[in-house]
């Protein structure tokens, strides 16, 4: 079954090209590598699929639902790690993650603790005290805390040291195998996508 179906998706910003005529499918439980150089339209494609921006033409569906018309319903089952992460600087990491978890039904306290422990993330530190790499770890935990069916990762290893990159790839593989998470992974680094 296809989780994502994209058909001739095009996005222009005025007269500037975002993406033109993009077509692909992503199957359930697949780890889909979306590769291209910087400026190729990877982030534009992801933001269009998430319903954060609207296409100029073409169509896309996730879980069989239209990304424009059914965006709020679709987003309940999606995790997203953007290439750049920005947070409320004065908040503690734990408070920030509990706030994010409040958008999803259920108690995610244990899941947050498990993911934070795995990523080596201190929940008592303030966000403004974190390095860029540690802020990225917050984004990883935030994207996974509600056990999404589909996970979008936009240049996810940017800012992570090699050891943490390995842990990150192990975690994504585990989520794919054990929790049947479909992964959409964008990068401009071929070796990452191959891995």
* Range scoring the smallest mean pLDDT among 23-37, 49-63, 78-92: 78-92
Total residues belonging to the chain: 195
Helix (H, G, I), strand (E, B) or coil at 34: strand
Work out whether strand 150-154 and strand 16-27 pair parallel, antiparallel, or are unpaired.
Answer: unpaired
Write out the E strands in the chain.
2-13, 16-27, 31-35, 57-62, 65-66, 78-81, 150-154, 182-187
What are 19-48's pLDDT values in tens digits?
999 999 999 999 999 998 888 899 999 999
Tell me the pTM: 0.92
Where residue 193 falls among pLDDT bands split at 50, 70, 90?
Answer: low
Nearest 5°: CA angle at 182, between 193 and 40? 45
Phi-psi region of 39 (alpha: psi -120 to 50; beta: other; left: phi over 0): left
**pLDDT tens track for 94-106:** 999 999 999 999 9
3-state secondary structure of 173: helix
DSSP state of 87: -
Mean pLDDT to the nearest integer, 38-63: 94
Task: List, for residues 6-15, the tens digit of each pLDDT value.
Answer: 999 999 998 8
**All domains of the chain in start order, with CATH:** 2-190 (3.40.50.300)
pLDDT in tens, 131-184: 989 999 999 999 999 999 999 999 998 888 899 999 999 999 999 999 999 999
């Amino acid at each position: 079954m296809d989780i994502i179906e994209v058909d001739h998706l095009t996005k222009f910003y005025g007269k500037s090209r975002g993406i033109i005529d993009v077509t692909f499918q992503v199957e359930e439980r697949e780890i889909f590598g979306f590769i291209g150089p910087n400026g190729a339209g990877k982030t534009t494609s992801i933001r269009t699929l998430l319903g954060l921006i609207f296409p100029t033409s073409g169509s896309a569906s996730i879980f069989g639902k239209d990304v424009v018309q059914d965006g709020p319903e679709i987003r309940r089952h999606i995790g997203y790690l953007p290439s750049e992460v920005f947070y409320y600087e004065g908040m503690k990491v734990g408070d920030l993650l509990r706030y994010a978890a409040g958008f999803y039904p259920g108690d995610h306290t244990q899941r947050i603790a498990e993911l934070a422990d795995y990523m080596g993330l201190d929940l008592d530190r303030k966000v403004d005290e974190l390095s860029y790499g540690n802020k990225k770890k917050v984004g990883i935990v935030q994207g996974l805390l509600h056990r999404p069916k589909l996970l979008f990762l936009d240049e996810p290893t940017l800012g992570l040291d090699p050891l943490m990159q390995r842990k990150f790839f192990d975690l994504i593989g585990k989520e794919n195998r054990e929790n049947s998470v479909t992964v959409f992974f964008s990068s401009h680094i071929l070796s990452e996508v191959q891995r």
